[in-house]
Structure formats: structure tokens, C-alpha cells
């Protein structure tokens, strides 16, 4: 078909013009389909981010905004009055101080109580409401937010809306592109009431501070992240508010729009943005910007006024038509010499278009780059296809000789590289991890197939999150078991520490998962884990046409065996001595027992992985201390002394399973002492 169309281009000018016009029309429609989604296309979003970073902002406005941030320092403060969520007494004190400091507006980036049965007293609320009314008397707007849940607004209680003002509220929801980045800010959200839509939080803040705000685009606008917005710790600001440091508030916040919101590292309301940097592998991912900071940048963008404009769909169609016609226009030239001179035009336009987009971006006009380049590349393809066809017609004999250079066998020899097909391995020192669910096979026999698959998927998601968070490599999922490796294929100097931290995080996440499963009347899951560090063979292993990267060796087998040892002591995470010796600087362990596994001659000491260093509670630390002292007496055959210390450990932690188990062992040995050959080693018969 293409050959037939190219043959028609050998006809008169009018015939060629009609074919070129139809081609431009089709290319323009294609470009329109690609361009309308904008930054929601992954590659387009990345190009948009690059242009945003390269542009310089000549009119910085971030200095007019400030954020009172509930940061890590706030949440780690021992005083309980520092909130992670809205607290009317604390926030009221800060609001009163901000009013005295002469702020322009206050933006409360925190959903207010949506139920009457909240923990705040009337006195607490009265403090906040007095502060709001004082702000209103001083013509200082206080804007607050709410969220949409499944297209339904989750509004604060009626008295909060009445006192704070319905016109001083906006939705906190953010718009995400396909790559989850926040580039656009929505203007309105439909179905706020039967008769009206809701404005976004940033629009409400900007309008309150600048009543003469220019008209806004219909759907949304792109956020400029080039602003430098100051952030102050919530705890420090609160202390200064309590101390009555009015001069500080006037100096730091006077005339500014002040946001109050969560920026802590545990903040779940945070997202990647065009200003984010990719932090690499190991579960780090994109740097997440707190939503309150995104809203502040959004307000700064509105206050500047020169919003980034997008062309109307018809303008985009005309642009694509002009680009494609410019690229195909040399086809219309009848004089061969002129056609050859103009042959550079399609390629030149293709290279110049990104520059045009960048220059337009600097003038606050956003031209979709991928749409235009797609049109131009296809136009280039059609143009050069036409030139190729023309060359074949004129030089058919030469083309036959040229085809001799495209011999398939020769090309295959050039591209063939046997090195990549080799199956080989190498010795690596790694930490191997295994996890298994207790009784899941029998449990699954009583469940619906869909439920089994759903629970397993949620379990794998939970565990994989923690594995990847600390740079682990999931070797395989087998049934309800998981095998992971730290230290291969990528080297990790602290692979043992990372593996232990990941296992502890998996334990915490499993607790969260079980709460969700219990709420949904689904079975409780118990995951047992084993860790071992040692030398393994790592590499591409498999058949000729199917290989996998994996590790194997005795160290792998031992890690697998340690999983079931948890059942003897009713523990969750057991590590070998090799793992403990490498990780003890940052992880708290306790020596659990000496065991001898089937197939090994000597015994080895196993350890329970307890917590990151310094995170053990006082009671548990004392329990571990008594336990390890008791264990020494136990191995010395002093069962009375061991029993006394195990009982002391149980007074510190009554539910400590290893202490209970060893206390019972001691009582059994006191009643019936072991023979002279007893060495205290627990022998594991099963693999």
C-alpha cells in the first residue's frame, strides 16, 4: 500500500498536494491524541520536569510564604502536646501568636474533626474558636481543608464550618499523573453540593490573601516548584508562642501567608513532584514532597499570576498540521535540485521543535513535546520513505548491489555475542533470608480459591515492601515461602544489618496486615523467619533457554532450616551466629540456644532478632539480661540457678515465650537430671 501511495507522488503537483494534505491531516489527528493527555504520558512528564528545572524564575514569590512544619523534631519531642494531627489547644496558641505577628493569612493543612465524638473538650475547642474569631476581627483569613473520599466530601463538624466560614475552605486532594507525580493542581471538584462545586485548598488560600486574583483556567494549572519557601519547626514555633515572643512572629511571619501542616518523615500525605530527585535503588525511590509544601508552591504559582498556558485542542491541531506540512513540503518541489536542497528541512524542523518548546515554556506557554516530535518523526519517515522510493526507481541496479551488504548471515555474526549466553557463577558473601507461613496449607484447604490468592498477594506485597526497602533481592516466591538475599547481585557492605532491619520491618507490617485481615473476618497469618550469613554460589543457573539468577550452598540451607526452629521457642525471627556477629553493632539480639541440625556435626548458637539498637523497652532489656545469664547457668547444669533467673526474666516480661520454655526445661531437669553426656545442645532431627 505504501508503495502505491509513493507511486502517486510521482504524479502532477495537484495530486501530490492532495496526498500531502491528507497525510498532514492524519498526522495532526495523531498528534492531537498524543498531546491532549499532556504530562500524564510518562515520557512527556519527564520532559516537562526537565524544562521546569532548567527554567529560571525571575520573580520569586516564595518569600511571601512560610510553613510551620510538624517535622521529625516536633514528633520526637517528649512533650505530648506536640501533635501529629490537629489539636485545638496547641494550634489555637500558634494561631493567636500568628495573628499578633500580623500575618496575611493562615492555611490549616489538616482535616478538622469530622465527628462530634472527637477527643477534644469544649475548653480545647473554645481556645481554637477564639483564635479564629480574633483572626477574622483583624481581617486575617483562616483557610482550612477537607478531603473527598469516593467523590464524597468529608467535611468537619457543622460548628467548625460555621465558625471558620464556609467560604474559607477547599479540598486537599491532589492530582497525580500516571507516574504518581503531582504537576497539575485542580481548580474545582464537582458535586460539592447539589448546586455548586468546591474550590481547591490552594485556590481558597490564594483568593483569601489576594481577593483580586486573576481569572483561573477552567480545569487546572501547572505548579511552579522553583519557589524558596521557608519552613520552621512546629515545636519551636509553639514554644515561642507560649513564651509570648511577639517580635519573633512579627519579624518572621509578618505579612506572610503561613501554612501549618505535616512534613515529617512518617507523613503518608507526601508525593513525588517535578522537583523530586530519584534516590536510586534499595527501596528509596523518589523523594516525596509533603502535600502542605506542594500546596504552598501551588499558592505561590497563583499569586505570581503568569500561569503556564496550554494551547486549546484546536490550536494544538493547527500546530501539528503546520509542523507536518513543513516537514513534507519538499515533496511538492518539482525541480530535483531544489528538492535536494530542501531535503534538510524535515530533519531541521525535528531538531528545532524541542528548542521551540523550551523557549515557549519560558514564555509561559506549554507545547507538548512528545506530540510534536511524534508528528515530525512520522513525517520524516514518510519523507525519507518517499526519497528512498525515488532512489530505488532511479537506481534499481545500484540498489541490487547495495543489498549484497545486507547479507543476513553476516549481520547475524556481527550481532552475535556468546559471552551473554554463558551460565556461570561466583562466590559471594551474603545474608540469606527465608520466611514461611505457619499452617497456611491446611488453612487454604478450607478457603475459597479467590480468598487464598488475595491473602497470599497481600502477604507477598507486605513482605516485599520491607525487603526492597532495605535493598534486598527476592530470589523466589514458593507457595507461601519467601527467599531473599542481601549482598547479591549488588554488593552491600552491611548486608547482615539490612537483612535484620528488613525482617523487623516485616514483623511490624505483618501486625498491620493481620489487623486488616481480622477486620475483614479473614484468617490470622503468622510468618516465621530465618537469617544466615555466609559464602554462597551466586549467578545465572539453569537450562540453555531458561536461566535464573539465584544463590545456593550450605549457607542457604541453614537459613531455610532456621525458619522452623522458631516453632520450638515460639519466636518470629531467628538468626545464626554469623549474622549476629556482623549486625550486633546496630541490632539487639539475644542468644537463644545451642542447636545441632541434621547433616552438621558441630553445634551452633542461634539468636533471636529483637529490635534496632536502642529500641528495646526497659522491661524487655532486663528480661534479655536475666535470660542470657540464666542460659549460662543452664549450660553449666546449674538448673536451680537457671530457673531462678528465668523466673526473674518472666517477672519483667511475663509473656516471654523462650523464658517460659526454658523454665519448664529446668524444672524437668531438676526433677529428672540429664545423663553425664548431656551438653545442652538441642538436636533438630527434621530438616
Distance between CA atoms of 524 and 154, rounded to whole angstroms?
32
Is 604 strand, coil or helix? Answer: strand
- Bridge partners of 532, per DSSP, are 432
In tens, the pLDDT along 92-144 reads: 899 999 999 999 999 999 888 877 666 666 777 888 888 889 999 999 999 99
Long-range contacts of 540-543 (CB under 8 A, 24+ apart): 540/422, 540/423, 540/424, 540/425, 541/423, 541/425, 542/423
Answer whether 630's CB lies under 8 Å from 593's CB: no
Residue 680's pLDDT is 83
Answer whether 111's CB lies under 8 Å from 172's CB: yes
Q: Work out the average pLDDT over 159-187.
A: 85
Pick the more confident residue, 33 or 106: 106
Distance between CA atoms of 64 and 300, rounded to whole angstroms?
8
Backbone phi, psi, residue 664, to 5°: -65, -40
In tens, the pLDDT along 219-229 reads: 788 888 878 88
**Kind plus residue range of the DSSP H or E element containing 206:** helix 201-209
Residue bearing cell 536451680: 640
Q: Is the peptide bond before 489 cis (omega within 30 degrees of 0)?
A: yes
Residue 282's pLDDT is 42
Q: What is the mean pLDDT of the chain?
A: 80
**Kind plus residue range of the DSSP H or E element containing 499:** helix 495-519
Residue 285's pLDDT is 55
Angle at CA of residue 467, ends 465 and 470, nearest 5° = 105
Distance between CA atoms of 227 and 224, rounded to whole angstroms?
7
In tens, the pLDDT along 346-383 reads: 777 778 888 888 888 777 787 888 777 778 777 777 77
Centroid of chain to Cα 662: 44
**Structure-block grid coordinates of residue 382:** 514518510
Region of poorest pLDDT, from 140-154, 240-254, 279-293: 279-293
Of the candidates 117, 112, 65, 122, which has an alpha carbon nearest to the alpha carbon of residue 91?
A: 112
Residues 6+ apart with CB under 8 A from 674: 637
Distance between CA atoms of 50 and 55, rounded to whole angstroms?
9
Query: Residue 218 pLDDT more than 80?
Result: no
Residue 186's pLDDT is 86
Centroid of chain to Cα 349: 38
Residue 400's pLDDT is 43
In tens, the pLDDT along 382-440 reads: 776 776 666 565 555 443 433 332 333 323 333 443 443 455 678 899 999 999 999 88
Where do the structural domains in the chain lie, given as residue ranges?
2-52+309-397, 60-304, 425-615, 617-687
> For residue 647, what are the CA distances in angstroms to 131, 174, 216, 619, 657?
56, 56, 72, 14, 12
**Kind plus residue range of the DSSP H or E element containing 529:** strand 527-543
Query: What number of other Cβ atoms are within 10 A of residue 71's Cβ?
Result: 21
Task: Look at phi and psi of residue 479 and say left if phi exceeds 0, alpha if psi is from -120 to 50, else beta.
Answer: left
Of the candidates 383, 384, 387, 407, which has an alpha carbon nearest to the alpha carbon of residue 395?
A: 387
Pick the more confident residue, 376 or 271: 271
Is 639 strand, coil or helix? Answer: helix
Centroid of chain to Cα 392: 53
Residues 6+ apart with CB under 8 A from 34: 41, 368, 370, 371, 374
Is 287 strand, coil or helix? Answer: coil
Query: Residue 587 pLDDT more than 90?
Result: yes
**Structure-block grid coordinates of residue 528:** 516465621
Of the candidates 200, 215, 273, 198, which has an alpha carbon nearest to the alpha carbon of residue 45?
A: 273
Query: What number of other Cβ atoms are within 10 A of residue 194's Cβ?
Result: 5
First to last CA, the chain: 67
Query: Residue 534 pLDDT more than 80?
Result: yes
Answer whether 153's CB lies under 8 Å from 192's CB: yes
Distance between CA atoms of 257 and 105, rounded to whole angstroms?
5
Distance between CA atoms of 523 and 512, rounded to whole angstroms?
14
Residue 264's pLDDT is 86
Residue 181's pLDDT is 87
Distance between CA atoms of 246 and 254, rounded to whole angstroms?
10
Report percent pLDDT > 70 for the chain.
80
Question: Kind of pairing, strands 257-262 and 682-684?
Answer: unpaired
> For residue 255, what are the CA distances in angstroms to 159, 211, 244, 296?
29, 15, 19, 15
Distance between CA atoms of 523 and 517, rounded to whole angstroms?
7
Residue 259's pLDDT is 95
Of the candidates 252, 244, 297, which has an alpha carbon nearest to the alpha carbon of residue 275?
A: 297
Distance between CA atoms of 681 and 126, rounded to whole angstroms?
66
Question: Kind of pairing, strands 198-199 and 105-108?
Answer: unpaired
Residue 74's pLDDT is 84
In tens, the pLDDT along 504-521 reads: 999 999 999 999 988 888
Is 416 strand, coil or helix? Answer: coil
Length, in residues, of the chain: 687
Q: Which of 183-187, 194-198, 528-532, 611-615 has the highest mean pLDDT?
A: 528-532
Distance between CA atoms of 321 and 313, rounded to whole angstroms?
12
Of the candidates 287, 284, 266, which has an alpha carbon nearest to the alpha carbon of residue 276?
A: 287
Centroid of chain to Cα 468: 11
Residue 338's pLDDT is 46
CATH architecture type of domain 425-615:
2-Layer Sandwich (3.30)
Distance between CA atoms of 155 and 112, rounded to whole angstroms?
8
Residue 280's pLDDT is 46
Residue 393's pLDDT is 54
pTM over 0.85: no
Of the candidates 285, 264, 325, which has an alpha carbon nearest to the alpha carbon of residue 31?
A: 325
Residue 601's pLDDT is 72
Answer whether 237's CB lies under 8 Å from 261's CB: no
Region of poorest pLDDT, from 42-51, 386-395, 460-469, 663-672: 386-395
Amino acid at each position: 500500500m505504501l508503495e502505491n501511495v509513493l507511486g502517486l507522488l510521482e504524479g502532477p503537483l495537484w495530486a501530490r498536494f492532495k496526498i500531502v494534505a491528507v497525510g498532514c491531516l492524519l498526522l495532526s489527528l495523531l498528534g492531537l491524541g498524543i498531546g491532549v493527555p499532556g504530562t500524564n504520558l510518562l515520557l512527556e512528564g519527564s520532559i516537562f520536569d526537565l524544562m521546569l528545572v532548567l527554567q529560571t524564575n525571575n520573580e520569586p514569590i516564595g518569600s511571601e510564604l512560610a510553613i510551620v512544619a510538624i517535622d521529625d523534631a516536633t514528633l520526637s519531642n517528649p512533650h505530648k502536646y506536640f501533635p501529629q494531627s490537629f489539636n485545638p489547644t496547641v494550634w489555637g496558641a500558634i494561631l493567636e501568636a500568628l495573628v499578633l505577628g500580623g500575618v496575611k493569612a493562615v492555611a490549616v493543612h489538616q482535616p478538622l474533626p469530622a465527628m462530634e465524638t472527637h477527643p477534644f473538650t469544649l475548653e480545647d475547642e473554645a481556645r481554637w474558636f477564639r483564635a479564629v474569631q480574633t483572626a477574622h476581627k483583624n481581617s486575617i483569613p483562616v483557610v482550612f481543608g477537607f478531603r473527598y473520599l469516593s467523590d464524597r466530601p468529608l467535611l468537619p463538624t457543622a460548628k467548625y464550618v460555621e465558625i471558620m466560614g464556609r467560604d474559607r475552605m477547599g479540598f486537599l486532594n491532589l492530582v497525580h499523573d500516571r507516574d504518581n507525580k503531582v504537576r497539575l493542581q485542580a481548580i474545582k471538584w464537582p458535586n460539592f453540593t447539589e448546586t455548586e462545586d468546591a474550590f481547591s485548598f490552594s485556590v481558597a488560600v490564594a483568593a483569601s490573601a489576594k481577593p483580586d486574583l486573576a481569572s483561573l483556567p477552567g480545569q487546572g494549572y501547572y505548579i511552579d516548584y522553583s519557589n524558596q519557601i521557608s519552613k520552621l519547626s512546629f515545636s519551636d514555633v509553639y514554644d515561642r508562642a507560649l513564651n509570648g515572643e511577639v517580635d519573633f512572629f512579627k519579624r518572621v511571619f509578618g505579612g506572610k501567608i503561613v501554612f501549618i501542616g505535616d512534613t515529617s518523615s512518617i507523613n503518608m500525605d507526601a508525593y513525588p513532584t517535578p522537583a523530586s530527585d530519584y534516590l536510586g535503588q534499595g527501596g528509596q525511590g523518589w523523594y516525596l514532597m509533603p502535600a502542605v509544601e506542594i500546596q504552598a508552591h501551588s499558592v505561590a504559582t497563583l499569586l505570581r499570576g503568569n500561569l503556564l498556558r496550554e494551547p486549546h485542542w484546536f490550536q494544538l491541531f493547527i500546530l501539528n498540521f503546520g509542523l507536518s506540512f513543513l516537514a513534507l513540503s519538499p515533496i511538492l518541489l518539482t525541480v530535483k535540485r531544489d528538492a535536494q536542497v530542501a531535503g534538510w528541512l524535515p530533519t531541521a524542523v525535528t531538531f528545532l521543535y524541542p528548542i521551540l518548546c523550551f523557549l515557549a515554556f519560558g514564555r509561559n506557554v506549554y507545547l507538548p513535546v512528545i506530540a510534536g516530535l511524534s508528528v515530525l518523526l512520522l513525517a520524516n519517515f514518510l519523507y525519507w520513505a518517499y526519497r528512498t522510493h525515488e532512489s530505488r526507481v532511479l537506481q534499481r541496479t545500484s540498489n541490487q548491489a547495495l543489498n549484497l551488504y545486507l547479507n543476513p548471515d553476516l549481520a547475524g555474526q556481527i550481532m552475535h555475542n556468546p559471552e551473554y549466553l554463558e551460565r556461570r557463577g561466583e562466590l559471594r558473601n551474603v545474608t540469606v533470608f527465608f520466611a514461611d507461613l505457619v499452617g497456611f496449607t491446611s488453612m487454604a484447604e478450607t478457603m475459597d480459591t479467590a480468598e487464598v490468592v488475595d491473602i497470599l498477594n497481600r502477604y507477598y506485597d507486605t513482605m516485599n515492601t520491607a525487603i526492597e526497602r532495605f535493598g534486598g533481592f527476592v530470589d523466589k516466591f514458593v507457595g507461601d515461602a519467601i527467599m531473599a538475599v542481601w549482598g547479591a547481585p549488588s554488593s552491600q557492605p552491611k548486608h547482615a544489618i539490612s537483612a535484620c532491619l528488613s525482617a523487623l520491618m516485616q514483623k511490624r507490617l505483618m501486625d498491620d496486615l493481620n489487623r486488616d485481615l481480622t477486620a475483614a473476618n479473614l484468617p490470622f497469618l503468622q510468618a516465621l523467619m530465618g537469617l544466615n550469613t555466609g559464602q554462597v554460589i551466586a549467578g545465572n543457573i539453569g537450562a540453555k533457554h531458561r536461566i535464573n539468577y539465584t544463590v545456593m550452598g550450605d549457607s542457604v540451607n541453614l537459613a531455610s532450616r532456621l525458619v522452623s526452629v522458631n516453632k520450638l521457642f515460639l519466636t518470629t525471627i531467628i538468626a545464626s551466629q554469623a549474622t549476629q556477629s556482623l549486625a550486633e553493632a546496630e541490632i539487639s539480639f539475644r542468644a537463644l540456644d545451642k542447636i545441632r541440625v541434621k547433616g552438621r556435626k558441630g553445634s551452633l548458637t542461634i539468636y533471636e532478632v529483637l529490635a534496632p539498637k536502642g529500641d528495646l523497652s526497659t522491661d524487655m532489656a532486663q528480661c534479655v539480661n536475666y535470660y542470657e545469664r540464666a542460659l549460662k547457668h543452664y549450660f553449666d547444669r546449674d538448673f536451680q540457678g537457671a530457673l531462678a533467673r528465668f523466673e526473674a526474666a518472666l517477672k519483667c516480661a511475663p509473656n516471654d515465650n523462650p523464658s517460659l520454655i526454658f523454665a519448664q526445661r529446668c524444672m524437668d531437669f531438676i526433677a529428672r537430671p540429664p545423663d553425664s553426656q548431656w551438653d545442652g545442645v538441642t538436636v533438630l532431627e527434621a530438616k
